[in-house]
Structure 1
Amino acid sequence: MNFEHWKRIVIKVGSALIAPTNTGCSSEYLLSIANFIKQCRSSGIQVVLVSSGSIAAGAHLFSPNKDSKNTDNIIIKKAMAAAGQAEMMATWDTLFDFPTAQVLLTHADLRKRDRYESIRDTIDTLLEHDILPIVNENDAVTTDKLKVGDNDNLSAMVATAAHADTLVICSDIEGLFTKNPHLHQDAKLVSDVYQIDEDIYAMAGGATSSVGTGGMKTKIEAAEKAISHGIDTYIVNGFKKQTFQAMLAGDNPGTHFFSDKNPMHDGVHWMRHTTRALGELIVGDQYKIGHNEASDLLVADDLLSVNGDFSSGDVVLLRKHNGDKLAKVKTNYSSCLLNFVADSTNQDFSEELDKTQDPIISKQYIALMES
């Protein structure tokens, strides 16, 4: 490990570490993590903490018999998150002798470029003033449409936004195993991963924690996002203090996903791994994205149909009629207008659209799919 070369790291801590018994926050497993963060800061390494656990921390404050017989009720969960977030922040504050800051996000904050850059500016400013940013998804207000869903992937998005060089994801096992170690005694720890492919995903099973939302698969997804941005990623056991002692000594106690030697450009990475396509533009099977002027990328005659309901400036998927995905692109027109353009009976209007200064898709906002 290159502990001495770290400059800015993101460490993700899950619900099972924050509130292992669903009876409120516990410092049992957090002390060693807090000490690790202190040691990093004292060594000149900037740290961003992504902390799950607001729902798990607040669950004990709500009586199922009083409020709802179904504790999975989304409204109750939002209330649990609102109450638990305060308890979780207070718990972290007691473990540090330096200031912390709460940063609550939804996916809407990440997929809009100006808000994404605003997140980066806020984190940069906090770190410049030696304040520890503690990031969590805003579960109290988020909806299915707006949520990231798990803090493994959120931590990777935060790491890319913050231009971190290292991401540490704390799990309840040592890292990625060749098989589920809870079911197979011959499972072996995979210490080094240089490329994430189907074989790596095949090793990932479901969630092993009763209070978390992410399993090993979401951690692999997060690692894939991070390494493609040039961020070394580690999955480690957050329940063992030896884990953090080993990392400080320069040893790898878990699985190290090595960063890509040729990371994606920041804008392309944001398009591919952070934005969410809100619709589709369907083109003919012979269509190829142009490489000349922006207007050559997609003209009205190329457009066969439009799927979804989106506005000008939204990100959509550009795909062929046969299903092949070509790219994520930013559209300069709404689905309503493009449906009108795709209608072959509106030929005169389509020709006029191609003459305008604004092309259908923006050349500077294109993330080609790998294959």
Structure 2
Amino acid sequence: MSDAISVQALPSWRRAVLKVGSNLLAADGGGLTPRYAAALAGFIQSSRAAGRQVVLVSSGAVAAGRAQLRAHAPSGGDLAAKQALAALGQAPMIALWQSLSPCPVAQVLLTHDDLRNRRRYLNARTTLRELLALDVLPVVNENDTVAVDELKLGDNDNLAAIVAALVDADLLLIASDIDALYTADPRRDPSAVPLVRVESLTPDIVAMAGGSGSAVGTGGMRTKLEAAAKAAAAGVPTALFSGRHDDTVAALAQGQLRGTYFAAGRSRMQARKYWLRHAPSAPGRIKVDAGAVTALASGRASLLPGGVLEVAGDFHRGDLVEIVDASGRAIARGLCQYGATEVKRLAGRHSRDIDVVLGYSYGAEIVHRDDLATLAEIESTGDIDA
């Protein structure tokens, strides 16, 4: 079917999240196979060679765990059984990707709770950022072993969209066993035609989605549309394509998509500034000196300990705080890497002193530039509809 889909140019990107589902990794006789994963790993490697970064969100742990037990594997949809299979299957799933990757592979297990809690969100963000800086391929998966209600239909599709926002990705790539979004299920309706580009996910578009087409996966087209909607809300476009066609996968490295492109509607920067403008801040302020005011006004600088004059109120690591100048005028908002007590101890110090003063460090910045917006930046985006 992919030959009938016209090729379109992908926007330029520096960092992408690639989601690969169980249906592309599960072998017919059980376990995992590199049959389709090899081409996807090749795309990751060629992207890295071109100076791009890729975070992989991979399913397949439950399928791998079931193969490990073979005849003794539990059947049915019991949550505890799925959690046990996921725990057993994590090692072979990671081993598969490591066998296909010339660079080190790191496993990152997350739950939705990790990404709802601002402090744990920052911890995950910092870890993924550091792994990418070390030229490591992060392989993210749902922490199924401790999940309660997260092991549900299409979880990793939605997890991939959340990770795309977490790492400030420019693009979300969803590798599927179907090559595009069609007007109807092409396996049942021969008159179905592919949609090459979707500007917005209207109810009519969502109604085109069917159920899961795989016996081993937990997702379907509907959850992929949910993921595209979540990514779009964060200013990240989504590309849906078939991971079963090597030429389609190879074309991605050349900036060409044979599949469906879901536009974001607004830029990643606009989405971030919108959130920083409207999210409630903690009851605390950080007062900074004139040098910090000038540096932050550029929009390219982080707030460092040396620029901090004093701290008012109480807040915790991961809270959204206001940054004010010496007169008390608000100049910026951002997610603080340290709590109020810690910032007070670090005020006026050099970043290299953080570990000495606190006995630990969450990084050199009090507020990282990726998590900060000046009021001028926020106001320049205007009021965007949520």
Match of 1:95 in 2: 100
Say whether residues 1:61 and 2:75 are aligned partners.
no
Match of 1:25 among 5, 10, 32: 32
Shift of 1:63: 5.0
Match of 2:259 among 246, 250, 254: 254
Distance in 2, matches of 1:148 and 1:216, equals 11
Q: Is the 8 A contact 1:11 1:168 kept in 2?
A: yes
Closer, same or farther: CA 259–27 of 1 in aligned 2, 3 Å = same
CA offset digits 1:266-307 (Å, max 9, x no partner): 3866999xxxxxxxxxxxxxxxxxxxxxxxxxxxxxxxxxxx
Shift of 1:147: 7.2
The two structures have a TM-score, normalised by structure 2, of: 0.66
CA offset digits 1:183-233 (Å, max 9, x no partner): 111111100011111011011111111111110000001001112212121
Letter in 2 for 1:189: P
Q: Is the 8 A contact 1:20 1:26 kept in 2?
A: yes
Alignment of 1:310-349 (within 5 A): none
Distance in 2, matches of 1:39 and 1:54, equals 26
Which secondary structure does the structure 1 equivalent of 2:106 belong to? strand
Say whether residues 1:16 and 2:23 are aligned partners.
yes
Alignment of 1:34-73 (within 5 A): 34-63=41-70, 66=72, 68=74, 70-73=75-78
Shift of 1:9: 0.4
Which secondary structure does the structure 1 equivalent of 2:181 belong to? coil
Closer, same or farther: CA 369–211 of 1 in aligned 2, 3 Å = farther
Distance in 1, matches of 2:214 and 2:277, equals 31
Alignment of 1:193-272 (within 5 A): 193-262=198-267, 265-266=271-272
Match of 1:157 among 162, 173, 179: 162
Distance in 1, matches of 2:276 and 2:114, equals 12
Distance in 2, matches of 1:212 and 1:271, equals 38
Closer, same or farther: CA 183–99 of 1 in aligned 2, 3 Å = same
Alignment of 1:169-184 (within 5 A): 169-184=174-189
Which secondary structure does the structure 2 equivalent of 1:170 belong to? strand
Q: Is the 8 A contact 2:157 2:219 kept in 1?
A: yes
Q: Is the 8 A contact 1:106 1:148 kept in 2?
A: no
Say whether residues 1:112 and 2:117 are aligned partners.
yes
Match of 1:131 among 132, 136, 152: 136
Which secondary structure does the structure 2 equivalent of 1:256 belong to? strand
Q: Is the 8 A contact 1:27 1:91 kept in 2?
A: yes
Q: Is the 8 A contact 2:41 2:100 kept in 1?
A: yes
Q: How many residues align?
A: 274
Distance in 2, matches of 1:114 and 1:267, equals 20
Letter in 2 for 1:193: V
Letter in 2 for 1:24: G
Distance in 1, matches of 2:29 and 2:99, equals 20
Shift of 1:256: 0.3
Letter in 1 for 2:14: K
Distance in 1, matches of 2:20 and 2:272, equals 25
Match of 2:345 in 1: none
Closer, same or farther: CA 176–210 of 1 in aligned 2, 3 Å = same
Query: Which has the higher mean CA deviation after the structures are superposed, 261-270 or 36-45?
Result: 261-270
Say whether residues 1:74 and 2:74 are aligned partners.
no
Distance in 1, matches of 2:143 and 2:64, equals 14
Q: Is the 8 A contact 1:177 1:189 kept in 2?
A: yes
CA offset digits 1:228-252 (Å, max 9, x no partner): 2121210100111111122223322
Shift of 1:80: 1.0
- Give aligned-pair identity as a percent: 43
Shift of 1:125: 0.6
Distance in 2, matches of 1:137 and 1:269, equals 25
Closer, same or farther: CA 22–169 of 1 in aligned 2, 3 Å = farther
Q: Is the 8 A contact 1:229 1:269 kept in 2?
A: no
Distance in 1, matches of 2:22 and 2:237, equals 23
Distance in 2, matches of 1:59 and 1:79, equals 9
Which secondary structure does the structure 1 equivalent of 2:189 belong to? coil
Shift of 1:20: 3.7
Which secondary structure does the structure 2 equivalent of 1:140 belong to? coil
Which secondary structure does the structure 2 equivalent of 1:159 belong to? helix
Distance in 1, matches of 2:29 and 2:82, equals 13
Letter in 2 for 1:266: R
Shift of 1:146: 8.2
Letter in 2 for 1:44: G
